[in-house]
Chains A and B, each alone.
Chain A
Amino acid sequence: MSKPSNEGFFWLLFSAGGVVAAVFIPVLLFLFGVAFPLGWLPQPSYEHLLTLARSPLARIFLFVVCSLPLFHWAHRFRFTLYDGLQVKHLNEAIFVLCYGGALVGTLLSGYLLLKI
């Protein structure tokens, strides 16, 4: 029962990432992993997708879809390590590893999305 915590911030990222992952990733997987390859839907051309991906809205969307689920993973994995392996003394290292990993992934996706 001590210091006020910023846990709410990480929980919001976790929560938002979970929603994004649950709502959008199955749609993307269905379209690009099943429907297009099997010919259920007409396959868009590479040029068409590239133009689409370069539009600002698509970039923001892809950035959100890449970044937030990483923070969802970070939170889940942090508690999986924390409770599952019961390595309480490594809590700070785990914290840095998980959220740091998500941050690196976020920066990388931002960089790649800007470059396309």
Chain B
Amino acid sequence: MNEVKIEINGVELSAPADLTILQAARLVDVDIPTLCHLDLHNPQVAFKEASCRVCMVEIEGRKNLAPACITTITEGMRVKTSTPRAIRARRTSVELLLSDHPQDCLVCEKNQNCDLQQLAAKLGLRNELKYQGAVSCYEKDCSSNSIQRNPDKCVLCRRCEIMCNDFQTCGVLSAVGRGFETIIKPPFGLPMMETACTFCGQCVAVCPTAALSEMSVVSEVWDAINNPDKFVVVQTAPAVRVALGEEFGMEPGQAVTGKMVALLRKLGFDRVFDTDFAADLTIIEEASEFVHRLQHNGILPILTSCCPAWVKFFEHQFPDLMAIPSSCKSPHEMFGAIAKSYYCEKFGIDPQRLIVVSVMPCLAKKYEAARPELSNKGSRNVDYVITTRELAKMAKEAAIDFKVLEDEVFDNPLGESTGASVIFGATGGVIEATLRTAYEWLTETTLEKVDFEELRGMKGIKSATVKINGMDVRIAVAHGLGNARTLLESIRDGSCRYHAIEIMACPGGCVGGGGQPYHHGDIEVLKARTRAIYNEDRNKTLRKSHENPYVQELYKEFLGKPYQDKAIKFLHTHYTERENI
């Protein structure tokens, strides 16, 4: 790209011609405040709305102010970012937004984590609001147990709409109505629960305010912990440990497994277990199912089923392909089923007393836990799901200084795990873990090189061919439901053929989940979390799921053979065709 010479606030610089004024300004350390702008460094999701009109700057020779976030630089352009006119413009936009916003910051879900609040502070908006008038008043949508919609707090930045439509291709959230009555909502104003929403939570992940947030069950979890009649066990997903530290001001990408375990004990959980254990179990089941299908001319490709948003997506969008996903429950559901059967049996606990809490990077897991088929005689496999963010809130409520906690280790038997399970948290991890096991089972030889590098990384759709017993086993990985759609359509029309496919709904896999600490558009955060995941894997002595001794014990003592009677009863599920609306 050719370079152009421009001037920003009197500073001359030369920059590539495809840069926006905002990007160019950052090169010379000029800060232009933004609100609706988001750059996920992903060509599939272009945030080109420029709807908030906060980043307005003066360009010499231009009649009106220009939005810096989408105006590209041109040769000789002279930009001024902090003239009284530009300052008045950005202040006015924020003052107007505040005039149509509930003034309940102190008790708001997003207090101190809200882009609008930070912007108002940054612009020095103090004392009374300059403009006052009608304030939008809509009903909250609490129809699901994953996502809460509070349109009163919406600033119409349209980020959620772009994620839902362009990235996830679900088309659930979009702008409806005109003028002051414009609102982002599902088609026909349906409650979220009655739509094709997958509850992936990517709308929540990008929402600058509390217009979209999780349905919290923190108080229910406290009640369970404080109830002496209940025996409360907690499990934590692999992606939680590489992100939780961020909530306490730690650098992204620090694995805080030991501190997290210590925290959970301090909060009062009776046992602290690891979803990674169940991830190893998932691999045993999924690899068995894969090998079974391979050896018995079963339907291929096999699709992973760990991601509940992905499961709901294909139930709505690809009901004709319902036979190809694996029937395995997701790891935390397997955990719940085993905890309420095997674990209770082994330790003489009344299953009625047992409460299973999952700490997940995910909002869809909240929805998943309430699916009727994932329960046993009215008792859910998993009772409560809290997100990484909610766990951090509990720690803050309990006034626990997370950073100084001494490392502790998980309880057994449901706390042991291999490196294969850790990588579930990153895109490509599940299929890599499956391959590590399936390869050894099929070839009956040891897999020396366990790292399948070509299945890792942030590329939307990845593929690789692995030679197993002389056969080319073709693998594909997609993260983001738009990519999943592309892949599934190519399977449906026969243009692509694979043996096994992993799909995760969120960018980067679970590390980028809707329940993770807010990344505020910084994609480097997701990359740092991913690196931490693969570090954890590398540091493990055991790196293949079938080597987990406690998993082996579980089959010996309770389940019998993988992908057979008892294992199928406890660890497998079925899917339901759903309307696409």
- Verify that A and B bind, or say they do not: no
Interface residues of A (CB under 8 A from B): none
